[in-house]
């Protein structure tokens, strides 16, 4: 199929089918656009790079972009999930065939809510130090442990879980990866109050919860490799986008928001301010190009260290935008509430920037990954990397 034929086909399909869909406000629960997303999935537009047996069209990366641009021009969601849907991409690469047949179509249509059960109170930056255990029983596994900083856990149907299944090997080699059913006895979710006065994060207590054998992704005790695939897609999404202003009353968005705010503050002629605004805009442009490069290198089922560059860059951009907004507003930034939307937005964005600095691996972890895997610098010493995890000392 030529590029022109493909563009004509996707545009004709959108003209015949796209009638609008309800907006999605949350990133984790069941998607209110599920009916439309199912249409997109069944037509092969959701994951055009994937095999035809898995709802794809086996298009090249360049032709897949034609599909994505056509959907973007129409304002229609659903295309390009082969680059952005971390749940479906991880399942396609590593799940059993029987489980894939059930879960992948549901994930592409947003028919199930998902969350990430990775971090623990004693294993945040060092995820290989997890102590949540999964013990083999007939037909599956019994899981006991505690997870924290879990977005969307209250409304999730499944959690992508890492748990320790072998305590007598070094820490990275005794971990397995599961899709844990969340709506069962033995899974308790407690919301955590954030500095932004929201409760997107949760603490999850798991007590003897059951996960079927077919929900194991990848080989037994090979979950660390599966996790790297999932983290690469998560960092890709976080490097691509971030939450905007909360009030919705600040007018322009993106680069234009910074320019408009500087103009309203009467500081756009200040050369120092112009330089700061230009720096943020340049960082955003560079990060967009770098993320496109990283995604082009990300083959199905693999991970890319370059994703860490985009994730780290977005964290820096958000912190700098928060600082610059506060500086432009001056004393007005001390105000808050709906009567002061510009100050409300500046304070929210400054505080919320720390979410991007932590989620998907802290900024410090991204710097380690970039140093070791991109720049080829020596690895940091890990005295517990080669000893059985049962012998690792814990505080």
**Residue 134: how many other CB atoms lie within 10 Å:** 27
- Report pLDDT for 296: 66
Please choose, from the candidates 79, 341, 160, 356, the residue with its C-alpha nearest in 3D space to the C-alpha of residue 241: 356
Report the distance separating Cα 269 and Cα 280, nearest Å: 17
3-38 confidence digits (pLDDT tens) = 999 999 999 999 999 998 888 766 677 888 999 999
321-339 burial, b at 16+ Cβ within 10 Å, e below that, comes to bbbbbbbbbeeebeeeeee
Confirm if 58 and 49 have CB atoms less than 8 A apart.
yes
- Report pLDDT for 194: 80
Tally the residues of the chain: 395
- Report pLDDT for 352: 86
| CATH number of the domain within which 333 lies | 1.20.140.10
Are 254 and 149 part of one and the same domain?
no
CA dihedral over 255, 260, 265, 270, signed as positive or negative: positive
User: Residue 314 falls within a domain, yes or no?
Assistant: yes
Confirm if 243 and 189 have CB atoms less than 8 A apart.
no
- Report pLDDT for 383: 84
Are 9 and 55 part of one and the same domain?
yes
Are 76 and 174 part of one and the same domain?
no
Are 63 and 122 part of one and the same domain?
no
| CATH number of the domain within which 122 lies | 2.40.110.10
Query: In angstroms, what CA-CA distances link 177 with 55, 133, 229, 258, 369?
Result: 24, 11, 11, 42, 22
User: Residue 395 falls within a domain, yes or no?
Assistant: no
- Report pLDDT for 242: 56
Report the distance separating Cα 385 and Cα 201, nearest Å: 30
- Report pLDDT for 385: 86
The pTM of the full predicted model, rounded to 2 decimals, is 0.82
Low-confidence stretches of the chain (pLDDT < 50) are 250-252
Are 134 and 194 part of one and the same domain?
yes
Are 203 and 276 part of one and the same domain?
no
Range of the domain at 75: 3-84
Report the distance separating Cα 108 and Cα 81, nearest Å: 7
What is the domain count for the chain? Answer: 3
- Report pLDDT for 39: 97
- Report pLDDT for 252: 45
């Amino acid at each position: 199929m030529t590029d022109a034929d493909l563009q004509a086909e996707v545009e004709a399909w959108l003209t015949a089918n796209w009638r609008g869909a309800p907006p999605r406000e949350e990133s984790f629960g069941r998607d209110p656009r599920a009916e439309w997303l199912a249409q997109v999935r069944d037509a092969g537009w959701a994951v055009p790079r994937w095999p035809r047996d898995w709802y794809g069209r086996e298009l090249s990366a360049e032709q897949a972009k034609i599909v994505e641009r056509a959907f973007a021009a129409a304002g229609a969601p659903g295309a390009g999930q082969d680059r952005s849907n971390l749940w479906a991409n991880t399942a396609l690469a590593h799940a059993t065939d029987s489980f894939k047949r059930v879960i992948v179509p549901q994930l592409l249509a947003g028919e199930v809510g998902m969350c990430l059960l990775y971090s623990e109170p004693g294993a945040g930056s060092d995820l290989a130090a997890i102590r949540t255990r999964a013990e083999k029983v007939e037909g599956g596994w019994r899981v006991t442990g505690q997870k924290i900083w879990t977005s969307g856990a209250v409304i999730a149907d499944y959690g992508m879980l890492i748990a320790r299944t072998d305590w007598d090997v070094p820490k990275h080699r005794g971990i397995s990866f599961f899709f844990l059913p969340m709506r069962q006895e033995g899974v308790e979710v407690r919301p955590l109050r954030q500095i932004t006065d929201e409760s997107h994060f949760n603490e999850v207590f798991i007590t003897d919860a059951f996960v079927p054998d077919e929900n194991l992704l990848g080989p037994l005790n090979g979950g660390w490799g599966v996790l790297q695939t999932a983290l690469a897609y998560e960092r890709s999404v976080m490097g691509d986008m971030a939450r905007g202003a909360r009030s919705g009353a600040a007018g322009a968005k993106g680069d234009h928001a910074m320019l408009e705010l500087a103009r309203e503050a009467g500081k756009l002629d200040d050369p120092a301010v112009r330089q700061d605004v230009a720096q943020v805009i340049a960082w955003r442009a560079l990060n967009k190009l770098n993320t496109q490069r990283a995604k082009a290198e990300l083959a199905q089922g693999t991970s890319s260290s370059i994703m860490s560059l985009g994730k780290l860059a977005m964290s820096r951009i958000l912190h700098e935008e928060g600082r610059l907004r506060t500086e432009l507003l001056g004393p007005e930034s001390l105000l808050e509430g709906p009567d002061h939307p510009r100050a409300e937005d500046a304070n929210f964005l400054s505080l919320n920037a720390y979410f991007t600095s932590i989620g998907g691996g802290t900024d410090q972890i991204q710097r380690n990954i970039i140093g070791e895997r991109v720049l080829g610098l020596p690895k940091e010493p890990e005295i517990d990397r080669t000893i059985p995890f049962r012998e690792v000392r814990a505080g």
